[in-house]
Chains A and B, each alone.
Chain A
Amino acid sequence: MQIYLPIADIPVNIFLLLAMGLAVGFISGMFGIGGGFLMTPLLIFIGVQPAVAVASVTTHVAASSFSGAIAYWRRRALDFTLALTLLAGGIVGSAGGVALFTWLRVLDQLDLMIGLSYVTLLTVVGVLMVGESARAIIRSRQGKPVELRRPGSHAWFHGLPLKLRFKRSKVYVSAIPVLAIGFIIGFLGAVMGIGGGFLLVPMLIYLLRVPTITVIGTSMVLTFLTMVSATVLHAVTNHLVDAVLALILMVGGVIGAQFGAHAGQRIRGEWLRLFLGLLVLAVGMRFAFQLVVRPDDLYSIRLVGGLL
C-alpha cells in the first residue's frame, strides 16, 4: 500500500516503512542505541531526501528511545544523574556541531565529512568493542570469572576534581570527563545526524566503567532528551520533519524496541557488546566502501535552498 509523504514529497510503501521501523527498533532496544545511524541511511536508500531523513529520524528515535527508557526505568536500570550531567555537556556540543554542519554544507564538503567521521568512528569503536568483548568471552569460556571491576586501572582523569557520585551506576568520578563525553556526543550527533548512543555506550563502559546494565538505560534517557530537542529544532529551522513518515517509523520502532529490550536483558553483557561491535563495524565498512570505490556518478545535485 503506497502512502504519500507530505514533507518528503514522495510516495512509499507503508509496510516497508513499518518493517524498517520494527527492525531498527529491535536493534535499538537491544543495545540501547537510537538506531539513527541505521535508519537514516536506509531512508536515503529508499529515496527520501537526506535532509528530510535526518530530521524525521530524530522524531522516530525520540519515540523508540522513550519507550525503551520507560522499560529500563521499571527495572531501575538507568541513572538519571549521569544522563543529566551528560546532557549538560551535550547541549554545548550540539551548538558547536550545528555551526560546523552549516559551514561544511556551504563548502559542499558535508557528505565527505559525514562519510569520514562515520568511517573513522565506527571502525575504531567497532574494533575496540569486538576486541574487548571477544577477550571477555574467551576468559569466561576458560572458566575464569568475568571481571566486573578493574580497580587498578584508573586512568588520569579519575584524579580530576569536581567528583560526583552516580549512585545507580556505582561510580564515583569527576564531572569533567562526563561533561566532555556529553560534549563529544552532542557535537558528533549534530554533524553526523545521529543520537550518538553507539558511541556513548562504549565510552561509558570503557572510560567511566559504568556497568553495562545501567549504561543502556542511561543512554536511552540521554538519546530521548537530545532527540526531542533535535525534533523541535529541526522543525523550527528547516521545516523538514515529516510527521507522517516519523509516525509510521515510530509505530514500528516502539514495538521493535520493546522486544529488543527484553532480548537484550537475556543476553550476557559481553555477547551484547560483541554483537553491537560487529554491527558498528559493518556500518563503518559500508561507509568506507562508499568513499573508496569510484561512485557510479561523479556528479550530484544539491538544492541551494535545501539542507544537503
Chain B
Amino acid sequence: MSWLRIASLAAAVSIVTAAPAGAERLVASLSNRHVMITSNYTGVELVLFGSVERDASNAARSNPYDVVATVIGPRESLRIRRKQRVLGIWVNTAARTFIDPPSYLAVLASRPLDSIAGAENRRKLQLGLADTPLPELINNDIGQVTNDPFRGALVRLMGERGLYSEEANAVTFLTPTLFRASIKLPAQVPVGDYTVDVKLFADGNLIGHTALLFEIVKVGFEQFVVEAARDHGLLYGFATALMALLTGWIASVAFRRD
C-alpha cells in the first residue's frame, strides 16, 4: 500500500511543480530513430506509441482524447508547372516556385480533423494538410495564395507518390490513454532529419504536445556510393567510366568467337 501512496504523492508534486490543474502529460516514443537504407531497402514502417498521463486527483474527462501526429521530412524547394495546349501541343505555360515545402508530410489523426478541433483552432495550429503553410514565391515576394490550384497540385502530386498523406483513423487508442500509430515511409522518401509533432486534444482544445525526431540515413555501400558521388565527383566519374570500359572489354573477350 505504501508504494501507491508514494506514487500519488509524486503525482501531486508534479501537479504543483509542472502543470496547472487539470493538465495531462503526453509521453510518446518511436520504434526506431535511425532508419537505415541498405541495398534491400523497400520502404519501412515506424511505430509511434504514447500515453496520456493523468494524475489521480483529476477526474476523468467525459469525452475521449484525440491525438494528431504530424511527420515532417527535410525541406526542399519545388516548382509546379502547368501545361496548356498551344498550337496543338501541350506546353508548360505557367509555373510557381514553392519555398522549402516538406519533402514528406504525414498527418495521422485519431478521428477526422474537423471533429477533433474547430476551423479556427486548426488554422492557428497549422493542423492537417489543408492548413499547413506552403509559401510560394510571388514576384520576388514570399507569401501564401488562397485557393491556389498550384498548391492543390503540389499536395495531390506528392500524395500520389506517397509523400503527403492525411489519415483520419491512423492513430488508434488501445486504452483510453494509450495510443499507437504507424508511420509509413515509402521507398522513395528522401534521406535526412524528420520531426514528429504529437498533439493531444480534448473537447476541441489542445491540451498537450510533444515532439520527436528520427533520421533516415544511408549506410554501408549505399552511403559509400553517395558520398563518393557527392564529394569526389571527378574520381567517381573516372571510376564509373573505368568500370564501363572494363565491363565492355570483359564482354568482348568472353564472347570472342575467332
**Stretch with Cβ within 8 A of B (4 or more), from A88-96, A176-184, A253-261:** A253-261
- Given contacts A10-B187, A71-B252, A298-B82, whether A251 and B229 have CB atoms under 8 Å apart is no
Residue in B79, B150, B158, B233 whose beta carbon sits within 8 Å of that of A236 in the complex: B233
Interchain CB contact under 8 A, A305 and B40: no
- Flag whether B146 is at the interface (Cβ < 8 A): no
Interchain CB contact under 8 A, A235 and B237: yes
**Stretch with Cβ within 8 A of A (4 or more), from B17-25, B85-93, B108-116, B175-183:** B85-93
Size class of the A contact interface (CB-based, 8 Å): 35 or more
Residue in A66, A262, A305 whose beta carbon sits within 8 Å of that of B77 in the complex: A305
Residues on A with C-beta less than 8 A from B78 are: 301-304
Interchain CB contact under 8 A, A304 and B82: no
- Given contacts A62-B241, A300-B81, whether A258 and B251 have CB atoms under 8 Å apart is yes
Interchain CB contact under 8 A, A4 and B157: no
- Flag whether A3 is at the interface (Cβ < 8 A): yes
Interchain CB contact under 8 A, A247 and B225: no
Residue in A235, A236, A291, A299 whose beta carbon sits within 8 Å of that of B89 in the complex: A291
Residues on B with C-beta less than 8 A from A109 are: 91-92
Bound CA span A299–B96, Å: 11
Residues on A with C-beta less than 8 A from B190 are: 9
Which residue in chain A gives the minimum CB-CB distance to B236?
A235
Interchain CB contact under 8 A, B245 and A63: yes
Which residue in chain A gives the minimum CB-CB distance to B158?
A301
Within 8 A of A (CB), among B142-161: 150, 153-154, 156-158
Interchain CB contact under 8 A, B225 and A6: yes
Residue in A6, A239, A257, A302 whose beta carbon sits within 8 Å of that of B233 in the complex: A239
- Flag whether B130 is at the interface (Cβ < 8 A): no
Interchain CB contact under 8 A, B41 and A4: yes
Bound CA span A118–B81, Å: 21
Interchain CB contact under 8 A, B91 and A112: yes
Interchain CB contact under 8 A, A241 and B251: no
- Flag whether A246 is at the interface (Cβ < 8 A): yes
Interchain CB contact under 8 A, A232 and B225: no
- Flag whether B47 is at the interface (Cβ < 8 A): no
Bound CA span A2–B250, Å: 26
Interchain CB contact under 8 A, A6 and B188: no
- Flag whether A131 is at the interface (Cβ < 8 A): no
Which residue in chain A gives the minimum CB-CB distance to B255?
A258
Bound CA span A247–B246, Å: 11
Interchain CB contact under 8 A, A241 and B153: no
Interchain CB contact under 8 A, A231 and B237: yes
Bound CA span A4–B257, Å: 36
Chain A interface mostly? helix
Residues on B with C-beta less than 8 A from A62 are: 241, 244-245, 248
Size class of the B contact interface (CB-based, 8 Å): 35 or more
Residue in A65, A237, A243, A262 whose beta carbon sits within 8 Å of that of B239 in the complex: A243
Interchain CB contact under 8 A, A302 and B79: yes
Within 8 A of A (CB), among B230-258: 230, 233-234, 236-241, 243-245, 247-252, 255-258
Most buried by A among B81, B150, B153, B191: B81
Interchain CB contact under 8 A, A70 and B252: yes
Residues on B with C-beta less than 8 A from A243 are: 225, 229, 236, 239-240, 243
Interchain CB contact under 8 A, A231 and B244: yes
- Given contacts A108-B81, A239-B229, A298-B83, whether A2 and B247 have CB atoms under 8 Å apart is no
- Given contacts A4-B38, A239-B233, A255-B251, whether A59 and B76 have CB atoms under 8 Å apart is no
- Flag whether A74 is at the interface (Cβ < 8 A): yes
Residues on B with C-beta less than 8 A from A4 are: 37-42, 187, 222
The minimal Cβ–Cβ distance linking A291 to chain B, given in whole angstroms, is: 4
Residues on A with C-beta less than 8 A from B79 are: 108, 301-304
Residue in A116, A246, A294, A304 whose beta carbon sits within 8 Å of that of B240 in the complex: A246
Residues on A with C-beta less than 8 A from B80 are: 299-301
Interchain CB contact under 8 A, B157 and A66: no
Binding site for B on A (CB under 8 A): 2-4, 6-7, 9-11, 47, 59-60, 62-68, 70-71, 74, 108-109, 111-112, 115-116, 224, 227-228, 231-237, 239-241, 243-244, 246-247, 250-251, 254-255, 257-258, 262, 291-295, 297-305
A selection of 27 A-B contacts at a CB cut-off of 8 Å is: A2-B40, A4-B41, A11-B43, A11-B187, A59-B243, A62-B241, A66-B245, A66-B249, A68-B248, A71-B252, A108-B79, A108-B81, A112-B92, A116-B89, A234-B237, A235-B240, A236-B234, A237-B233, A246-B240, A250-B244, A254-B248, A291-B89, A294-B90, A299-B80, A299-B150, A301-B80, A304-B97
